[in-house]
Structures are given as structure tokens and as C-alpha cells.
Amino acid sequence: MEGVYVVVLVGTALILAAAFSSLIAFRFGAPLLLLFLGIGLAAGVDGLGINFDNAQVAYFVSSLALAVILFDSGFGTRLASFRQAAGPALSLATVGVALTTALFGVAAHYLTDLSWSASFLLGAAVASTDAAAVFFLLRAGNLHIRDRVRSTLEVESGSNDPIAIFLTITFVSLVATGLDPEADVLMVDILVGFAVQMGLGLAAGVTGGFVIARLVERLTLDRGLLPIFTITLSLLLFGLAGAVGGSGFLAVYVAGLIAGNSGVRSEAHLKQFQDGITWLAQIIMFLVLGLFATPSEFPAIALPAVGLGLFLIFIARPVAVWLCLAPFRFTRAETAFVSWVGLRGAVSILLALTPFLEGLTVGSVIFNTAFIVVLVSLIVQGWTIGPLARRLGLVIPARTGPLDKVELELPGAAHHELLAYRVVAGSPVATGVRIPRWARPSLVVREGRSMTYQYAGRLEADDHVYIFVSDRYPRLLDRLFASRAELDPEDAEFFGAFAIDATRPAADLDAAYGLGLTEAEAAMPIIDLMRLRLGGNAEYADRVTIGPVELIVRDVDEKGAITEVGLSFEPHSDAPKIPVFLSAGEIRDRILDWLRNWRERRRARRLRQADKPKPGGAGDHDDADEVILPR
């Protein structure tokens, strides 16, 4: 019995230490995963002496934790964000993972003593980005980045694990059986297996998502049991999908995406519970993987492992991102940022455990190398995301300021919400803007006194307003009750000198500022002209330079239509300076420029040689005399 108490004591102490370390991460913007892993390493066999070397237990616990994390990632992803980023994100999650595996595998083969199959196994293990690290750093850094870029990163990090897991298991089988990875028959088997596993996982996820949403709606469960019921169903789905040969990780992510966008009752309560259980899952997963590692084995492979980590950061990831995002309308700065926010984390370490499960002799080398690659990624990339986003000019001013809001659950009101707002000084409602008719304010609490909304008169700062509203409109109300965003002095002119009426014909702007528009463009409303120049989609803070002026999207509605436009007389014409190693497109252009210059130099040299007088020709003696005569 004493052993049980010791395990409980040590386990809870480690979890508490990890939880307290989050305060440091939020304060200094440190990669939270790095702190969790550090605590696990410090408590392990080379630290406090906890000898944990059971790969089966570590893999089982970490897999369950990852399933919980992926379900929550899908549950918290809005369908609008998924649609907006589906193309580029899924391209990165599939083709990008395969390209990263291939490039990293080639480098690993030449930098280590691993065989081709083992090198690609290592590449597959570190090919996917870590959802927990990406979500935390974007949130903890308080970075306001374009919605499309943020959504792409979040959807990619949540959806690329199943592909990496499939590739890892495939290459484990290749290493275990000693088969040639280049055999044509084998490649066909891999493609068929991939299609079957992903297809079954997708089908299970779609079916399971609708079943979970339906059961949550229909069953009358105690409020405390509902979130436990939901997360247990997701783990049941994870097991069922894996048992029939599908990807359980893909199934839980898709199920979370569907259930989270189905408008289930008690959605706010479910999200709060899942936030807590996901934090616990992350802490346990990272601590277990940190405990399993043996730092004393790192020095033997440290040099090639660090080299591979840098290769992944500066070459493999940028090349894969550039190729995957080439068909989409991403700027060079955005592509560079997506390349940099490719943090590796606990999933890579988890996948590096798989060789241990098969008893492979290269298991220790692959695990230790992957662990060091993850540490390099977190140290190099994790600390620099905020500064890089600012250098690339991707940080935009916040749309709204602080909002004080509480969501209250109403029994039997699945598609309506009772929201409690505190009126913030400087918010639209505090300045006299009335609440729309489709919202039903029922109560106002002012200085401890309750009154109906009709008798409260104009709302005042610190009033508490209770509103019964359809679940389609809370975001619209949020804007009315949020305070004005505070802009840095550098952002004061971000949205232009003044606002313009964007419904007027573009011909008015052309006449005033000489934009040089075509006849067809001049006949368009300014909104349509901006959408045309932006490729059909407009986002908050988008900018369109036309001649001497720049039009800036100050606001968009819920459907993405431009509602407010600013005009600036100082266009941001200077492109941000992108470090050459962050964008394969930049590397490509440098290479092409070098080749063009080389061809020009070669052509000029040939012309000079052609202009030289031939021996024995006219003028030859003069040139010779000029050379040999003394000064």
C-alpha cells in the first residue's frame, strides 16, 4: 500500500509543478511544452531518480491523452474557420507531412548511421506540428494575426497527426520486416492501406460526431455527468475506429468538429470541462514522455540530432510549406510565418516510441534523436513567434477591447442562450447605442438594484444586463458590449486617415485622387472593387493599394462582407524583410537571380572574348607593345 501512496504523491506533485509552471509560461511567453518536458526530465532517472522505462504504458497513456486533445481541438474549431482554411491547412496536413518526411528522411540517412527505412521512420515521427504548442503560443503571445493565417495554423496542427501516425506505423513495419521502401508493390500496399485507414477513420468520425451530438441533445443527464459522458463517447469512438482498422485519431478530431458545430445544449459547460481535461491530458502526456527519456544518452547523438533539428526548421518545413501554399493566395510574409510556426512537440516524441513497441534495435536512437529535435524546435521557434510576426508585419490591431460576459444555461432552451454582460466604459452600449430588437433584454442590475430593461433607461458603465437571445447572434452582441480596442501609437494610422462610404461608385475615388481605373472598375462600388483586387474574399485589416491611396478593411460582418473602409494617403509599399531561410520562395528567387546574373556575366565574358583581336590580326602589335614597354 505504501507504494501506491508514493506513486500518488509523486504523480500529483509533478502535475502541480507543471500547473504552476504555466504561470511562468504566460508571464514570459515561454513554450509551455518545454517546461512540462523539463519537469519530466528533471524527475526522471537522470534527475530525481524516478526510473520509468515501460514503453507500452507510456504509449497507451499518451495515446489516450492525444485522443482527448484532438477531440477538444475539433470541438473548439468553428466551422467558418475550418472552411476558410480547409484548402491550405489540409494541404499542409497531408502533402506537407509527406514532403517533410521525405526531406527529413534523406537528411537523416546522410547525417546518421540509420538505414533508409529507419531514416524515413524518424522523418515521419517528427513530420507533424504540435497542436498544444501552436494553440498556446498564439494565445499566450496575445498575437492578433489575420484570421486566415491563424485558422490555417490551428487546423493544420489539429489535423496532421493521423497522417504522421500512419506513416510512422508503416515505416516501423518496413524496418521490422526489412523490406525495401522503394518496391513498387509495397508502395501500392501503402497507398491502399492509407486510403482504407483514413477512409474508415473519416467515416467513423462523421458518424460518431452526429451520434454524440444527438445523444447529448436527447438524453436527460445530470449537468455534472454530461461532459464526462461526452468525453467518454469520444474515447469509445477512438477505440472502435482503431479496432476496425481506421484512424482513431482522425475519427475523434472529425467527431469533435461535427459535435462542436452542431449547437448542442450546454455547449459552454462542455467547453469549460474540456478545457480543464485537455490541460490535464497535456500535462500527463508531456510528463510521461519526459520521464521516459534518458538525458544521459543524448550526448552520443547530440550533434547530428541538433543538425537535423535545424534542417527541419530552416529547410524541410519551409520547402514543404512553400510547395503546399503555392496554389493559394498567401503573401510571402504569411508563407514565411506559417513556415516558422511549425513547432514539434509531444506527438513527435509519442511516435518515436513506436520502435520500442516493436522491439527494434534502432528504437533508442530514433527516440533520443526525435526528443532532441523537439527540444531544438521549441527553443529556436517557440521563443521567437511574436517578434517574427511583428517583423513580418502580420500583427494587426485588435478589433475590440475587453469584454465581460457570462453564459448561463437554460433548461429546455437548446438553441437560445441567457447572456449576462457587464457594461464596459467606452463600449457602444455605454455611449448610447441601443440593443437590437432581436435580442430580448430581461433584467438590468444597477448598483445592487434590479429593474426591467424598459425602465432602466440608457445603460451605464458597470450595469449588468441579462439578455435572452438565439444562439446565432451572441457574437453580434459581443461587439456592442466590448470596449474600444486600445491602439499603440504605431497603429494609430493603421486603418487610414478617415473612413469612406464604400457603397459609392469607385469613379468618385478615381475623380478625386486619379487612381487610373478602367471603365469597368470605375463603374463598380468601392466594396466590389476591393473584393476584386483581393481575389473575392475580404478579411479584417486587408489592404488594397490603388495608385496614390490605400483602402483598408476596417470591419467585416459575420458573412465576410465589408462594412467599413478606411483610406490612407501613405500606402505601405515597403514589403517586410523576410529572412531568406524562412521562405522557400525567397530561396527560389535568390537562386533564380544568381542564375540570371551568372548567365549575364557569362554572356558578357563571351562578348569581351569575341571583341578581342585575334593573334596576327590588325592592331595586335600595338597591344603587345602596350604590354611590354617599360614605364
- Cα distances from 428 to residues 268, 418, 580, in angstroms, run 25, 20, 45
Confidence of residue 474 (pLDDT cuts 50, 70, 90): low
548 and 440 both lie in a single domain? no
Average pLDDT over residues 120-148: 81
CA distance 522 to 216: 54
Please report where in the chains the cell 477512438 appears, as a residue.
Answer: 238
Specify if 540 maps to a domain.
yes
Contact 400, 478 (CB under 8 A): yes
Ranges 20-29, 63-72, 358-367: which has the least confidence: 20-29
Specify if 451 maps to a domain.
yes
381 and 432 both lie in a single domain? no
Give the strands of the sheet with 543-546, arranged side by side.
498-500, 562-568, 549-556, 543-546
180 and 299 both lie in a single domain? yes
In the predicted model, is pLDDT for residue 439 greater than 50?
Answer: yes
CA distance 220 to 591: 65
Specify if 577 maps to a domain.
no
| Domain termination site, one of 458, 481, 504 | 481
Specify if 225 maps to a domain.
yes
352 and 441 both lie in a single domain? no
Question: In the numeric block, which cell numbers belong to residue 146?
Answer: 489575420
Specify if 398 maps to a domain.
no
In the predicted model, is pLDDT for residue 184 greater than 90?
Answer: no
CA distance 410 to 314: 52
464 and 559 both lie in a single domain? no
75 and 208 both lie in a single domain? yes
Specify if 184 maps to a domain.
yes
**CA atoms within 13 A of residue 389's CA, in its CB half-sphere:** 22
CA distance 566 to 495: 6
First-residue to last-residue Cα distance in the chain: 103
CA distance 213 to 191: 33
319 and 457 both lie in a single domain? no
Is the pLDDT higher at 494 or at 316? 316
Is the pLDDT higher at 475 or at 201? 201
Average pLDDT over residues 535-560: 79
Closest CA to 166 of 128, 135, 129: 128
475 and 496 both lie in a single domain? no
Confidence of residue 619 (pLDDT cuts 50, 70, 90): very low
Average pLDDT over residues 586-611: 61
CA distance 521 to 530: 10
In the predicted model, is pLDDT for residue 414 greater than 90?
Answer: no
Q: Which residues of 117-138 are buried (b: 16+ CB within 10 A; e: fewer)?
A: bbbbbbbbbbbbbbbbbbbbbb
pTM: 0.78
- Cα distances from 144 to residues 64, 276, 377, 573, in angstroms, run 32, 24, 23, 21
Residue range(s) defining the domain that contains residue 418:
404-481
138 and 163 both lie in a single domain? yes
pLDDT for 627: 33
Query: What are the DSSP calls for 218-282, one per residue?
Result: H----TTHHHHHHHHHHHHHHHHHHHTTS-HHHHHHHHHHHHHTTT-TTHHHHHHHHHHHHHHHH
CA distance 330 to 61: 39
Spell out the residues 6+ positions from residue 399 whose beta carbon is closer than 8 angstroms to its own. Answer: 144, 485, 540, 555
| Domain termination site, one of 481, 497, 522 | 481
In the predicted model, is pLDDT for residue 99 greater than 90?
Answer: yes
Specify if 160 maps to a domain.
yes
Average pLDDT over residues 146-159: 86
Using a pLDDT cut of 70, give the percent of the chain over it.
79
Spell out the residues 6+ positions from residue 630 whose beta carbon is closer than 8 angstroms to its own. Answer: none
318 and 424 both lie in a single domain? no
Closest CA to 344 of 519, 139, 129, 184: 129
Contact 153, 338 (CB under 8 A): yes
Question: In the numeric block, which cell numbers belong to residue 16?
Answer: 502541480
Backbone angles phi, psi at 143, to 5 degrees: -90, 125
Specify if 580 maps to a domain.
no
The full length of the chain comes to 631
CATH assignment at residue 235: 1.20.1530.20
- Tally of structural domains, the chain: 4
In the predicted model, is pLDDT for residue 182 greater than 60?
Answer: no
Bridge partner list, 499: 566
pLDDT for 20: 73
Is the pLDDT higher at 492 or at 461? 461
276 and 384 both lie in a single domain? yes
CA distance 380 to 377: 5
In the predicted model, is pLDDT for residue 620 greater than 50?
Answer: no
Range picked from 29-38, 49-58, 560-569, 621-630 for highest mean pLDDT = 49-58
3-class secondary structure, 550: strand
CA distance 557 to 563: 6
Average pLDDT over residues 25-47: 77
490 DSSP assignment: G
Average pLDDT over residues 305-334: 91
208 and 319 both lie in a single domain? yes
CATH assignment at residue 426: 3.30.70.1450
CATH assignment at residue 545: 3.30.465.10
CA distance 45 to 101: 31
**Burial classification of residue 274, based on how many CB atoms lie within 10 Å of its CB (0-12 exposed, 13-18 middle, 19 or more buried):** buried
Question: In the numeric block, which cell numbers belong to residue 134?
Answer: 501552436
| Domain termination site, one of 462, 481, 500 | 481
